[in-house]
Amino acid sequence: MGHWENIGLPEEFDGTVRLFPLPNLVLFPHVIQALHIFEPRYCDMLSEALESDHLITMALLEQGWESNYNEQPRLSGVVCIGRIISHSPTGDGRHNLFLAGIQRARILEELEVETPFRQAKVEIIEDIPFDDYSLEETCRDQLLDVFRTMIPKDAANSKTFSELLTRQLPLGILTDVIAYAVNLPIAVKQYLLGEPKIESRFKVLMDNLTTLVEPDDAAKEESSRSIRRGFPPPFSVN
């Protein structure tokens, strides 16, 4: 947990974002992602962000991106706006940073810009709560019960994981933290990022976690390694 818990979009945010497309990463709100930036266009993007609002928006490249990576391969329509909370230049023109996911957004249009990195106009996606709020606590307990069965002992004993289990996190935040941490197919993660209804997000996540509870040995070991590498992620309670 850190000082970034209560950060959000700046008051002057006008929907214009800098895009950082990657083929194998879906960022979610309420988690922190480590990034290593070295391509000149994205170093320029980072410099501009550090000089202004500290915002970088993660976008997923769609299949077939390899054929025109240096141009403008297609992006999935839903992205995650993140804020830089830590930045360390390495001294050789590269950069390490931590990016906190803060908000889902939908791309409305890409902009014609002179910068070497892509930019877009987006609209914010707000969570849609349960129709029956009384069901949320039950669903939260069900989700945690399934997730407990998947956690390696070394992760389960960590302070952050203990906080996740014992604190009454809202279900919307919990779905994001777990979707980020677990080794789900990238298409499923992208779907979960794009789903504003917390109830629907919960059902899809539960369906996918259930298939991982009793996988074959190879799949089980890979899932365990994935959680050990990426969990517990730092998370927000805002």
- Chain mean pLDDT for the chain: 84
- pLDDT at residue 52 in the model: 94
- pLDDT at residue 238 in the model: 27
pTM summary value: 0.84
User: What does the domain layout of the chain look like in residue ranges?
Assistant: 3-124, 133-230
Percent of the residues in the chain that have a pLDDT greater than 90, as a whole number: 60
CATH of 3-124, one of 2.60.120.10, 2.40.40.20, 2.30.130.40, 1.10.230.10: 2.30.130.40
Burial 87-114 (b: 16+ CB within 10 A, else e): beeeeeeebebbbbbbbbbebeeeeeee
pLDDT per position as a tens digit, 131-182: 888 888 899 989 988 888 887 766 666 666 666 665 678 999 999 999 998 9
- pLDDT at residue 210 in the model: 87
> Is 98 in contact with 33 (CB distance < 8 Å)?
yes
DSSP result, the chain: --GGGG----TT--SEEEEEEESS----TTBEEEEEE-SHHHHHHHHHHHHTT-EEEEEEBPTTGGGGTTS---B-SEEEEEEEEEEEE-SSS-EEEEEEEEEEEEEEEE---SSSS-EEEEEE---B--SSGGGHHHHHHHHHHHHHTT--HHHHTSHHHHHHHHS---HHHHHHHHHHHS---HHHHHHHHH--BHHHHHHHHHHHHHHHHS--HHHHHHHHHHHHHH-SPPB---
Mean pLDDT of 178-200: 95
> Is 64 in contact with 73 (CB distance < 8 Å)?
yes
- pLDDT at residue 234 in the model: 44
Lowest average pLDDT, out of 58-72, 107-121, 201-215, 224-238, goes to: 224-238
Q: With cut-offs at 50, 70 and 90, classify the pLDDT of residue 221.
A: low
Spatial separation of the C-alpha atoms in residues 220 and 212, rounded to whole Å = 7
Q: With cut-offs at 50, 70 and 90, classify the pLDDT of residue 86.
A: very high
Residue 136's identity, in one-letter code, is E
Q: With cut-offs at 50, 70 and 90, classify the pLDDT of residue 211.
A: confident
